[in-house]
C-alpha cells in the first residue's frame, strides 16, 4: 500500500547538519532514502523551514540553500526519487518512482516580495503555510498571543496560491487567520494537525475547525508528534488512531491523511519512530478500518483532493 506524507523537516535537519548526514541512509534522519523505500512512499512533502533566530537579511539565502539541498541530496538517487512540480506529475508518476514535493512552512524567507514567492512556486513549491508559530507579515501564528488574522499581504499571497492551484496550509495559523483563510483560499490543507478534542495542545484543530475543513472538502493530515497526540506527551500508534477515529466521527473519513512532521519533532510515537514504520502503522490501522478505508488514509484521499 503506497503512502503520501505531506510534511517532514529533513531539509532543515540536513542544513543544520552541515554535511554530517547523508540522505541515503543516515540514522539521524527520520526520512532518508532507504526508509522511504521501506515505507513504500508514493509522495513525501519536504518543508522549507527556517529557525526564527535566522537574521532577516539571511532568510532568503537560507531558504534557497534548502532548495539546493533538496535538488542535490534528495533527488540524486539514480532517478528513483522524482521531483513533483505539478499535480499532474503526481497523477502520472511511474509505479517504480517515489514522488518528492517542496512545501513552504512560514513566508518569512520572502519578506514582502511576492516575486520571491513566485520563484519558489516556479521551482515546484505546492503547499504554503503562511505562518509557523509566531506572527509575520502575512498573519499571526497559533502561538502568537495577539491572535490576529490575515494581513492584506497575507490575502495577496492566498490569491496568488489560488491562481497557481497551490495549497494554503492552515496547520500553524492563529484561530482567526484559520477562519479568514477558509474564506479566502480555494485549496486548503492542514498538512500536519490533529484533533484538539483528543489532545488539547493549541496546534491541534478544534471540532468546529475540523467540521469546517470537512465542509470545505479539505484534507486534514494527522501529525505523529507525541506532544500533539496525548496530553501526557507520550504516545503509541493507538493514540494516533484515536485522532483518526475522532475526525471520522465528525464526518471526515475521506478527508484524513498523514503529515508526520518527521525530522521536525524531538520525540516519537512508539512504533512510528521514522518513515520506514509506515507499513506497520497501516497494518495496525487495518485492525480498526477496512483495507479500502486505510488506502484512503494512506494516499487515495489526498489524490482525490488535488487542486483542479
**Residues 16-33: tens digit of each pLDDT:** 999 999 999 999 999 999
Residue 76 has pLDDT above 80, yes or no: no
Are residues 128 and 165 in contact, defined by beta-carbon separation less than 8 angstroms? no
Residue 140 has pLDDT above 80, yes or no: yes
Are residues 223 and 260 in contact, defined by beta-carbon separation less than 8 angstroms? yes
In this prediction, residues 137-158 reach a mean pLDDT of 98
In this prediction, residues 272-293 reach a mean pLDDT of 98
**Phi-psi map region of 78: left, alpha, beta (phi>0 left; psi -120 to 50 alpha):** left
Alpha carbon separation from 31 to 68, 90, 268 (Å, rounded): 17, 20, 13
In this prediction, residues 220-233 reach a mean pLDDT of 98
Q: What percent of the chain has pLDDT over 90?
A: 99
Residue 263 has pLDDT above 80, yes or no: yes
pLDDT at residue number 201: 98
pLDDT class of 187 with cuts at 50, 70, 90: very high
pLDDT at residue number 287: 98
- The pLDDT tens digits for 20-74 are 999 999 999 999 999 999 999 999 999 999 999 999 999 999 999 999 999 999 9
pLDDT class of 286 with cuts at 50, 70, 90: very high
Residue 109 has pLDDT above 90, yes or no: yes
Alpha carbon separation from 207 to 28, 126, 169, 192, 212 (Å, rounded): 36, 27, 18, 16, 8
pLDDT class of 78 with cuts at 50, 70, 90: confident
Alpha carbon separation from 234 to 21, 204, 267 (Å, rounded): 28, 16, 9
Residues recorded for the chain = 308
Residue 251 DSSP label:
T
* Distance from C-alpha of 14 to C-alpha of 12, rounded to nearest angstrom: 6
DSSP run (H or E) holding 125:
strand 125-129
In this prediction, residues 185-203 reach a mean pLDDT of 98
- Comparing CA positions, the residue from 60, 69, 48, 255 lying closest to residue 132 is 48
Are residues 133 and 152 in contact, defined by beta-carbon separation less than 8 angstroms? no
- Comparing CA positions, the residue from 104, 1, 29 lying closest to residue 262 is 29
Residue 293 has pLDDT above 80, yes or no: yes
pLDDT at residue number 180: 98
Amino acid at each position: 500500500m503506497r503512502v503520501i506524507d505531506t510534511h517532514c523537516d529533513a531539509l532543515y535537519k540536513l542544513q543544520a547538519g552541515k554535511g554530517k548526514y547523508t540522505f541515503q541512509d543516515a540514522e539521524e534522519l527520520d526520512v532518508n532514502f532507504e526508509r522511504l523505500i521501506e515505507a513504500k512512499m508514493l509522495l513525501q512533502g519536504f518543508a522549507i523551514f527556517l529557525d526564527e533566530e535566522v537574521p532577516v537579511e539571511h532568510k532568503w539565502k537560507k531558504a534557497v540553500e534548502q532548495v539546493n539541498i533538496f535538488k542535490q541530496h534528495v533527488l540524486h538517487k539514480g532517478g528513483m526519487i522524482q521531483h513533483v512540480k505539478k499535480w499532474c506529475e503526481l497523477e502520472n508518476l511511474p509505479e517504480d518512482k517515489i514522488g518528492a514535493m517542496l512545501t513552504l512552512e512560514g513566508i518569512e524567507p520572502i519578506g514582502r516580495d511576492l516575486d520571491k514567492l513566485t520563484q519558489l512556486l516556479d521551482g515546484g513549491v505546492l503547499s504554503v503555510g503562511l505562518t509557523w508559530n509566531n506572527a509575520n507579515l502575512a498573519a499571526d501564528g497559533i502561538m502568537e498571543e495577539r491572535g490576529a488574522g490575515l494581513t492584506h499581504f497575507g490575502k495577496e499571497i492566498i490569491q496568488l496560491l489560488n491562481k497557481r492551484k497551490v495549497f494554503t496550509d492552515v496547520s500553524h495559523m492563529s484561530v482567526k487567520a484559520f477562519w479568514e483563510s477558509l474564506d479566502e483560499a480555494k485549496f486548503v490543507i492542514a498538512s500536519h494537525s490533529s484533533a484538539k478534542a483528543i489532545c488539547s495542545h493549541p496546534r491541534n484543530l478544534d471540532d468546529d475547525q475540523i467540521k469546517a475543513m470537512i465542509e470545505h472538502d479539505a484534507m486534514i493530515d494527522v501529525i505523529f508528534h507525541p506532544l500533539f497526540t496525548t496530553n501526557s506527551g507520550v504516545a503509541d500508534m493507538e493514540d494516533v488512531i484515536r485522532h483518526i477515529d475522532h475526525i471520522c466521527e465528525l464526518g471526515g473519513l475521506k478527508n484524513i491523511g498523514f503529515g508526520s512532521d518527521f525530522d521536525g519533532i524531538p520525540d516519537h510515537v512508539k512504533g512510528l519512530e521514522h518513515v520506514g514504520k509506515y507499513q506497520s502503522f497501516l497494518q495496525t490501522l487495518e485492525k480498526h478500518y477496512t483495507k479500502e478505508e486505510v488506502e484512503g488514509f494512506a494516499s487515495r484521499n489526498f489524490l482525490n483532493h488535488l487542486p483542479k
